[in-house]
Amino acid sequence: MTRVLEARPAALDGPTRGEIEKRIFEQWLAGRRREAGIEWMWGTAPRTDALTRALRRQAPDAVGV
């Protein structure tokens, strides 16, 4: 059983706005993190490519690799 003691209309005050901005940013950031990839630079481009391929072969279950 629930008893409502008071009802107020929604208001876009400072704390509410801050919470909304935080949630929107967190959702945006989570999406960017899902799409992001890291590529290390190990000297020359051919050397980097070779090392990247070798590392990918070693970790086939790695996410985003």
> Vertex 40, ends 59 and 29: CA angle to 5°?
85
Q: Where are the domains of the chain?
A: 14-58
Q: What is the mean pLDDT of residues 3-31?
A: 95
Residue 29 to residue 19: CA distance in whole angstroms: 15
Is the pLDDT at 51 greater than 60? The verdict is: yes
Question: Is 61:55 a contact under the CB 8 Å cutoff?
Answer: no
- Identify whether the C-beta of residue 51 lies closer than 8 Å to the C-beta of residue 65: no
Q: What's the pLDDT score for residue 19?
A: 96
Residue found by looking up tokens 């989570």 in the block: 30
Query: Is residue 60 scored above 90 in pLDDT?
Result: no
The whole-number average pLDDT for the span 10-36 is: 94
pLDDT score at 13: 94
